[in-house]
Structure 1
Amino acid sequence: MALLSLRRRRVVASPPPALHVPARPPLEPPAQLLRRLEFRVVRRLDGFLFGDYRGLFYGPSLDLAEVREYQPGDEVRRIDWNVTARSGRLHVRQYREERELTAWLVIDTSPSMNFGTRRVLKRELAREFAGVASLVITRHGDKIGAITFGPGSGMAPPRGGRAQALAVMNLLSRGARGGPDASTQPTDLASALTAVERTLRRRSLVFVVSDFLETAPPGAGGWTGALGRLAQRHDVVAVRVSDPAERALPDVGGVRMRDPETGEELWLDTSDPGVRAAHARLVGERDMALKRALQSAQVDLLDLGTERDPVGPLLRFAAVRRGRRR
């Protein structure tokens, strides 16, 4: 976690007694989770979108129809630089929508996702988003597949129907059973994105669901380039799941911190204003680096927090993408 990047001069000299760690709640069964999401989330989204489900996730059209000259108001990202270079005049790519949409969920199941201090853990929030996306997409006849990376990684090939939504939930349930004491594997987002790029043959809508907390910042670990290559061929959305305690270090005195992906431990005096200020700077720097990396790859960001259900963020995200299509 990001907390481990703080300087060790702030570590408490005499650590207090070991903290009591409450038992982790059992995972909600996949079928029960789907029923809850359909009743509490998907129906609410339908009420706002009036059945226009493609307005929720669907971004730019995916099939190239023609290339035409640039007109004022056209998106810069649609400029075809090869045709522009040959003709000497700006040309843009014109798309038509596919009748059938194929979507993929690329979901982080690394140990850092087993963290949460509010409504749910990050891994559970990722499952909720995957369930909503699967229900929304498959109920209209389109296909969705899933790939997980981290302990218990696996794949569910793209199919349609409610049975496929349940298959995606079962895959995520298997990938989320590792706890804090399970194998410690650092998140390797670059390798995961490269594997996805090699796997996907048809142009698709791809959701990369992760907390995007790596030991190396964006760019240094190489995943920025892999994301850019993936976004060149597919419509990619980065879904970041986070917890308020990761964004703002609470003032709770001396606390033992453990990196779930390396096993490294240290004590921090969270009542020290200098420690909290250093953490705030680190979080700000990582946020800026992530946003720059996504903007460079022309990838949209959907932010989800463990303190609230995903309805509000999904509606705001849909409004942005629908406005862009207009």
Structure 2
Amino acid sequence: MTEGEPAGTTPDLARLEASLRTLELTVRRKLDGLLQGNHVGLLPGPGSEPGESRAYQPGDDVRRMDWSVTARTTTPHVRETVADRELETWVVVDLSRSLEFGTADTDKRHLALAGLTAVAQLTAGGGNRIGAVVANGERMLRLPARGGLAHTRGLIRRVATAPVAPEGTRGDLVGALDELRRPPRRRGLVAVISDFLGEPVWERSLRALSGRHDLLAIEVVDPRELELPDVGSVVLADPETGRQREVETTPLLRREFAAAASAHRDRVADALRRCGAAHLTLRTDRDWVADIVRFAVARKHAWSGGGPHRAGRPA
């Protein structure tokens, strides 16, 4: 079977195709109007051609400081760049077992697919190319970067039908990130879609990519990962190790769980910030399309010099 070719005509495939087309249309309608200009979207590509200088504003990338103008005017300035005519985007999709979870409007795997669709829509056209590295902990799938609508739809379909790793399989986000470093890809955008559970051992690999690429991290979250409901006795399971533990959801346990979850998310946000990655959080209990639109508009405003923007997490 070639990439982008339907895997058959079974009812399950027909439902999948209908679901993916609905997802594409939903994203496209909501993002209409943001798909114009030089890659102004989730993370505008700064390009390599030098443009005009402007006064530094809080939130600007200090690596773009124009030191000659700064010295001449005694006021900090940054150098704008003109977006390249063609953008190459690579999406690292973490499909570890922990993504097979959801207690609200959708599950995290579907939310990851939605994030991939949004990135594809916001970087489409104009000779741009998109590729993907998909890792589930057991195997890794690399889809080459190509252009065109047929390729993009085929790529999303391949990710949607990627197999689920057996229970007890740990994810391999580090391996997926390192896959983009060997051999080095042309300068472009790297979007990482994951729930970022566990310690941020991926920070070194992600930081290594930041010297060559713009980075976007899309974190997918379910509310039950942030706080436990008062349901009495419950069995908690780790899908990546298979370990289970029965606990009593007492007020003390719920407070400690919420505090540990908040501390973990702070560590993830700090690590992403150190890597220079823009940070977008999508939650299974929120309107994820609205969150993407707000994030894209804020990024567009910040890059156009309209004021500072902190790519934080929605409440």
Q: TM-score, normalised by structure 1?
A: 0.78
CA distance in 1, matches of 2:21, 2:38: 19
Structure 1 match to 2:288: 310
Q: Please point out which of 254, 262, 267 is paired with 1:284.
A: 262
Query: Are 1:163 and 2:150 matched, yes or no?
Result: yes
Q: Which moved more, 1:289-298 or 1:71-80?
A: 71-80
CA distance in 2, matches of 1:210, 1:27: 25
**Structure (1/2) with the larger helix percentage:** 1
Query: Are 1:109 and 2:95 matched, yes or no?
Result: yes
Unmatched segments (≥5 aa) in structure 2: 1-11, 305-315
Query: Are 1:204 and 2:219 matched, yes or no?
Result: no
CA change 1:71–1:128 in 2 (3 A) is closer
- On the 8 A contact 1:30/1:166 being kept in 2, the answer is no
Q: Please point out which of 172, 178, 186 is paired with 1:194.
A: 178
- Aligned partner letter, 2:193: V
How far the C-alpha of 1:34 sits from its partner, in A, is 3.1
- On the 8 A contact 2:221/2:283 being kept in 1, the answer is yes
Higher relative contact order (CA 8 A, sep 6+): 1
CA change 1:35–1:170 in 2 (3 A) is closer
Q: Please point out which of 42, 48, 52 is paired with 1:57.
A: 42
For residue 125 of structure 1, give the secondary structure of its aligned residue in structure 2.
Answer: helix
Structure 2 match to 1:124: 110
How far the C-alpha of 1:38 sits from its partner, in A, is 2.9
Q: Please point out which of 239, 249, 257 is paired with 2:218.
A: 239
Q: Deviations over 1:92-147 (max 9, x none)?
A: 55422101111111000110010001122111111122123224433554211111
How far the C-alpha of 1:28 sits from its partner, in A, is 7.8
- Structure-to-structure mapping, 1:170-181, within 5 angstroms: 170-175=157-162, 177-178=163-164
Q: Please point out which of 63, 79, 85 is paired with 2:63.
A: 79
- Aligned partner letter, 1:316: R
Structure 2 match to 1:43: 29
CA distance in 2, matches of 1:232, 1:53: 21
Hey, which bits of structure 1, 4+ residues long, moved more than 6 A? Answer: 80-84
- Aligned partner letter, 2:225: E
CA distance in 1, matches of 2:22, 2:129: 21
Q: Which moved more, 1:110-119 or 1:184-193?
A: 184-193
Q: TM-score, normalised by structure 2?
A: 0.81
- On the 8 A contact 2:44/2:303 being kept in 1, the answer is yes
CA change 1:249–1:57 in 2 (3 A) is same
CA change 1:95–1:140 in 2 (3 A) is closer
